Structure 1
Amino acid sequence: MPYQFPDHFLWGASTAAHQVEGNNTNCDSWVMENLKGTRYKEPSGIAVDHYRLYREDIERLAALGLNSYRFSIEWARIEPEEGRFDEAAMGHCRDVLRTCRNLNVTPVVTLHHFTSPQWLISAGGWESEDTPARFARYCAHVMSQLGDQIPYVCTINEANTPIGIDKVIKQFQQGGSASAQVGMNMDFQEQMRNYYAELSKAFGLPPQEVHTFLSPRSEEGLHIIFQSHVEARAAIRQVSPNTKIGLSMSLFDFQSVPGGEEQAAHELHEEFLQFLPYMEDDDFFALQNYSREIYGPEGLIPVPGDRERTQMGYEFYPEALENVIRCASKHLNKPIIVTENGVATDDDTHRVAFIDQALKGVAACITDGIPVKGYLHWSLLDNFEWQLGFSKRFGLIEVDHQTQKRTPKPSAYHLGKIARTNTINTV
């Protein structure tokens, strides 16, 4: 199948700091992974040792033919105690960016990817009215020193994810079943109450006052997340005016059968449309998609038994990406960068097929004039998938968790060939 993409298209892959770097000991997730009765299958530990091996990982990305790397900077490393910024951690980030520049790889940087400093959670976390100012201060510190090396920055990864978590909780409370949505294998009820008791001890707060980014959200808490984006954007513009700023959102392709149209429209509003005012002044939209959801008169329809499921429980449906791009473009008149799209599977031939179908949809959108500026596959490396541990395989590059040996999969070479065939220019 021929691909038609513009010059300067960003071809790349993505990672998140906590999922690949290892020994992120000052963040909230580290606490939760190591608690008695933890809901995590296993702790992250050294993850895939990317904090030490980042140079060869980025070299591998470039050698494949990719020209862009999306990664995150870890707030808990930069500001391990409130108001104290770690210059060694900043130096590490500076060298990651230098490595990208030397290899002609365009960095797309995310400043918050799910994990937060432990001190922030003890200070009220993502329900505290002080969090937007604290987050903006951190972003300003990073971008004042590194912004001239960062052409694209996402303030927050998947700012709407807490909505999906609330849905999973409600499904369990109502006695229903839920797939491993949003990467969290959530088993609540009595075990969860015991877990939160341990969590409250760790952060010195009552259980109901422990508010990590991935905790259930109040309406005010949702506002705090998006207001953090607004204040961070303003702070970044002051210190790094040439950096393009966006927000990352995770969206399903919301579909319906007769009788489910109103419910599907409600889900789109709840997860995307209600937040459009917060993004009006952004420079681009960072879009993330993995599958679809289909709604009927009774609500969400389970994935039919004859449809392939991924390791995450999603329906294998790469066609969703085109639909979500078209939907986002209709409602938000901004350039789009696909910052995550991929599939968890041990069968790499399915990953190749997923990439082909997803890119066919991206190309169709571009042909129709939608300004899609890049496709960054999730993920570069097999990594730590939060509560599910290391068992889910999203990577273009296989990682032996025992030896840390890297082996590019056929899908890595496949995506690299597509990139080289079309363009390897960077922005």
Structure 2
Amino acid sequence: MTHTSLPGTFLWGVATAGHQNEGDNSSSDTWFLEHTAPSLFREPSGPACQGYQQWETDLDLVAGLGLNAFRFSVEWARVEPERGVVSAEALDHYEHMVDGCLERGLSPIVTFSHFTAPHWFAAAGSWTAADAPARFAEQCDRVMARFGDRIAYGVTLNEPNLEQLLQAGAKLPAEAETLKTRMLAAAARAAGSDTYASANVIPAHRQDEFQAAFTRAHRTARDAIKARRGDLPVGVSIAIADEVAIPGGEERRDAKRAAVYDHWLREARHDDFIGVQNYERIVHGPDGEVTLDGELNGMGTVIAPGSLAGAVRYAHEVSGVPVLVTEHGIQTPDDAQRAAFVPAAVHQLAAEVRTGTPVLGYCHWTLMDNFEWIFGYGAQLGLHEVDRETFQRRPKPSAKAYADVVRSYRGGLTDSGSGSRNNNGN
């Protein structure tokens, strides 16, 4: 069956991140924290998926799914491993990736900061340092100068509100907050600095400070990107659950929205789009969050394919700008759940578009199982599994399920399988 409810310009993609896929990102703040004692990270990232070496194979996988977009991040720590020292090799690498996307009919969606930053940046005050916006703007400018003329969308920051979302929902145990604080203090001592911080391990008492810092960085980055290319759509991507209320829970729902999302949705009114990254639905009752009956995902919430449409609807209502789904998926070791979940979510997203909500595209998280930050390699969200010894990529049934639903909306223009020029990862 062919669906016609989405425009022909709609982007169908997958999203990835440099640190989580590339491996050996040893000049980054996250790498430093992974090797700090004590560490909140379950295990070090190490070689990750060897994506830095296997990027051509991975782009073949994306094209083989019949997609037309690929979201990836440019690792600032690779481009500027030491302050003021710019790696021409790293810039060459990412330029080759952009050109590789275009050769395969994939629109490059570039994230300028996907949580990680250079170690030197983290040790010099991180995002709250007075010169942080200027340093980030310099990085954005050098990336734009190299290949900004060939990318389709620019995402300044990835999920600057993630810590607020985790803390508002008590997603991490109380002892994790203590361990985080101890880890950052140990990292500061090891780095010989007064403080150490990273974008996705922020202590609770510094949330407001970092929100203000991220806001300054986003604005400065947007201006730098636009200075090079005024017509490039630029926005920020936020983590956003579908917050719903049963009778009596409306006040709690609205308070959660105000605390976690609304700042960035209002900020996006000055951008070209708002990036939505949705993984779950949260149900609020008069006494707190409510767990309804149903099959659970790996995050412990009920699997709700309609959560994406709900999150998109709210994001657009507040921001007033088009939505780009920069991430959506499901954490589960049971790929049958993923294979059923993704098509159902896409169909409900298409129904939301039919009501008039402008959606530019959909990027599934993620192409392959990878390093999921503090959870290491235990969390599985990929369309492909990766052998941790050989780094061979193997498609899961959900890869075909996603390819099939994309084909149904693109009018049968693509193959339904997950085949590519080489899907062995060798």
1:295-310 map, 5 Å? 295-301=284-290, 303-304=291-292, 306-310=293-297
Q: Please list every run of 5 or more consecutive structure 2 residues that lacks an aligned counterpart in the other structure.
A: 415-426
Alpha-carbon distance in structure 2 between the residues aligned to 1:298 and 1:210:
37
Alpha-carbon distance in structure 2 between the residues aligned to 1:163 and 1:401:
32
TM-score normalized with structure 2 length? 0.91
Give the secondary structure class of the aligned counterpart of 1:76.
helix
Alpha-carbon distance in structure 2 between the residues aligned to 1:375 and 1:144:
27
Q: Does the Cα contact within 8 Å between 2:266 and 2:319 map onto a contact in 1?
A: no
Q: C-alpha displacement at 1:218, in angstroms? A: 3.8
Give the secondary structure class of the aligned counterpart of 1:12.
strand
The amino acid that maps onto 1:127 is: T
Alpha-carbon distance in structure 1 between the residues aligned to 2:88 and 2:174:
37
Identify if the C-alpha distance between structure 1 residues 167 and 62 changes in structure 2 by more than 3 Å, giving closer, same or farther: same
What is the RMSD computed on CA atoms of the aligned residues?
2.0
| Structure 1 residues 183-242: Cα deviation after superposition (integer angstroms, max 9, x where no partner) | xx8743665554344222223234xx3221121234232111011111111111111223
Match of 2:21 in 1: 20
Identify if the C-alpha distance between structure 1 residues 411 and 200 changes in structure 2 by more than 3 Å, giving closer, same or farther: same
Match of 2:210 in 1: 221
Give the secondary structure class of the aligned counterpart of 1:139.
helix
Is 1:278 the equivalent of 2:278?
Answer: no
Match of 1:60 in 2: 61
| Structure 1 residues 68-120: Cα deviation after superposition (integer angstroms, max 9, x where no partner) | 11111111111111222111100000010111011011111101011111111
Higher mean displacement: 320-329 or 255-264? 255-264
Q: C-alpha displacement at 1:392, in angstroms? A: 1.2
Give the secondary structure class of the aligned counterpart of 1:51.
coil
Alpha-carbon distance in structure 2 between the residues aligned to 1:193 and 1:246:
31
Match of 1:33 in 2: 34
Q: Does the Cα contact within 8 Å between 1:41 and 1:389 map onto a contact in 2?
A: yes
Q: C-alpha displacement at 1:276, in angstroms? A: 3.6
Q: Does the Cα contact within 8 Å between 2:111 and 2:155 map onto a contact in 1?
A: yes
Q: Does the Cα contact within 8 Å between 1:230 and 1:278 map onto a contact in 2?
A: no
Is 1:84 the equivalent of 2:67?
Answer: no
| Structure 1 residues 231-285: Cα deviation after superposition (integer angstroms, max 9, x where no partner) | 1111111112232101101101111223221111011112222234422221111
Higher mean displacement: 89-98 or 355-364? 355-364
Alpha-carbon distance in structure 2 between the residues aligned to 1:98 and 1:15:
17
Give the secondary structure class of the aligned counterpart of 1:188.
helix
Is 1:188 the equivalent of 2:188?
Answer: no
Alpha-carbon distance in structure 1 between the residues aligned to 2:324 and 2:391:
30
Q: C-alpha displacement at 1:126, in angstroms? A: 2.1
Q: Please list every run of 5 or more consecutive structure 1 residues that lacks an aligned counterpart in the other structure.
A: 169-177
Q: C-alpha displacement at 1:57, in angstroms? A: 0.7
Q: 2:198 aligns with which of 195, 212, 218?
A: 212
Is 1:232 the equivalent of 2:221?
Answer: yes
Alpha-carbon distance in structure 2 between the residues aligned to 1:414 and 1:393:
17
Match of 1:348 in 2: 335
Higher mean displacement: 20-29 or 193-202? 193-202
Aligned length, in residue pairs: 409
Identify if the C-alpha distance between structure 1 residues 277 and 261 changes in structure 2 by more than 3 Å, giving closer, same or farther: closer
Identify if the C-alpha distance between structure 1 residues 205 and 165 changes in structure 2 by more than 3 Å, giving closer, same or farther: farther
| Structure 1 residues 302-329: Cα deviation after superposition (integer angstroms, max 9, x where no partner) | x35x432222333322211111111112
1:239-278 map, 5 Å? 239-278=228-267
Match of 1:378 in 2: 365
Q: Does the Cα contact within 8 Å between 1:121 and 1:203 map onto a contact in 2?
A: no
The amino acid that maps onto 1:230 is: R
Identify if the C-alpha distance between structure 1 residues 297 and 203 changes in structure 2 by more than 3 Å, giving closer, same or farther: farther
Is 1:410 the equivalent of 2:411?
Answer: no
Q: 1:422 aligns with which of 394, 409, 412?
A: 409
Give the secondary structure class of the aligned counterpart of 1:59.
helix
1:120-199 map, 5 Å? 120-167=121-168, 178-179=170-171, 187-188=175-176, 191-192=179-180, 194-199=182-187
Alpha-carbon distance in structure 2 between the residues aligned to 1:55 and 1:233:
29
Alpha-carbon distance in structure 2 between the residues aligned to 1:417 and 1:257:
35
Q: Does the Cα contact within 8 Å between 1:14 and 1:69 map onto a contact in 2?
A: yes
Give the secondary structure class of the aligned counterpart of 1:387.
helix
Identify if the C-alpha distance between structure 1 residues 94 and 193 changes in structure 2 by more than 3 Å, giving closer, same or farther: closer
Is 1:46 the equivalent of 2:47?
Answer: yes
Alpha-carbon distance in structure 1 between the residues aligned to 2:97 and 2:176:
39
Give the secondary structure class of the aligned counterpart of 2:27.
coil
Q: Does the Cα contact within 8 Å between 1:54 and 1:96 map onto a contact in 2?
A: yes
The amino acid that maps onto 1:203 is: A
Is 1:369 the equivalent of 2:370?
Answer: no
Alpha-carbon distance in structure 2 between the residues aligned to 1:191 and 1:6:
47
